[in-house]
Amino acid sequence: MHDYNRVLELISEAGHAAAGADGPERALNEIVKCYFGFLGDRTAHEKDGALKPGERQYFVAGAFLVTPDAGYHMLVSNVGFPPDQERLLVPIDAGHPGHVFATKQELLLENTDDHGNFKQYLKTSRMGSAIFAPMIWKGMFLGQIVMAAQARYTMRQSDLDLLKALANIAAANWVAHAGPAWLASAYPPANGFYVDRQGLEAAK
């Protein structure tokens, strides 16, 4: 459970930084940076079974925006993804991002091993725990903000609850900073990293 006062501070910090950002992607990045250093059980990797041999605890976070043609979720404002996946593009109906798109509901995967349909789209490894929260503006699904960790049971319900609140701030700032117009001009990206529905093998 998170400290109530610290949660209020983080929401305030994220909203203030995003409102003052230069452009929509930077606005989302300010929000992502705020929660990246806060969410998740930072001792989860110390528990038995949290990591398999050869794994190490690390985190990734970012926003997946629905592309103008509604064909993909495109990664923006990421923290921790490989540089060549800066513009990761996942088919709109693929994996758990696709599930969030279809249901317009937040999602917690405490242990991805319990979800046989979990797809790996990150090049470096399969993540063990993840949360997703939709960005919705006037009923329109804009995308989602996400966070994942290598260690199982890192992400908790309290983390998802805060991510959901931040997703509302993210949606409002995305629209206020003319995000849809920016996305229309940025897509398709020259450095697009396209994956299929089946995901990727872990990097060797």
For the cut 80, the answer to whether the pLDDT of residue 21 exceeds it is yes
pLDDT in tens, 40-78: 999 999 999 999 999 999 999 999 999 999 999 999 999
CA dist 15 → 92, 166, 167 (Å): 28, 8, 11
Would you call 17 helix, strand, or coil by DSSP?
A: helix
Would you call 60 helix, strand, or coil by DSSP?
A: strand
For the cut 90, the answer to whether the pLDDT of residue 8 exceeds it is yes
State the DSSP H helix or E strand holding residue 28, giving kind and residue range, or none if neither. Answer: helix 24-36
Residue 48 per-residue DSSP state: T
Q: What pTM was computed for the model?
A: 0.96
Average pLDDT for 149-166:
98
pLDDT of residue 201: 61
Query: From CA 181, how far away is CA 197, in angstroms rounded?
Result: 27
What whole-number percentage of the chain has pLDDT above 70?
98
pLDDT of residue 110: 98
pLDDT in tens, 168-204: 999 999 999 999 999 999 999 999 999 999 998 644 4
Higher per-residue pLDDT: 200 or 120: 120
Classify strands 192-194 and 87-91 as parallel, antiparallel or unpaired.
parallel
Taking residue 188's Cβ as centre, other Cβ atoms within 10 Å add up to 15
pLDDT of residue 116: 79
* Structural domains of the chain ordered from first start: 4-39+57-188 (3.30.450.40)
Please name the amino acid found at residue 62. G
How would residue 117 be classed by pLDDT, with cut points 50, 70 and 90?
confident
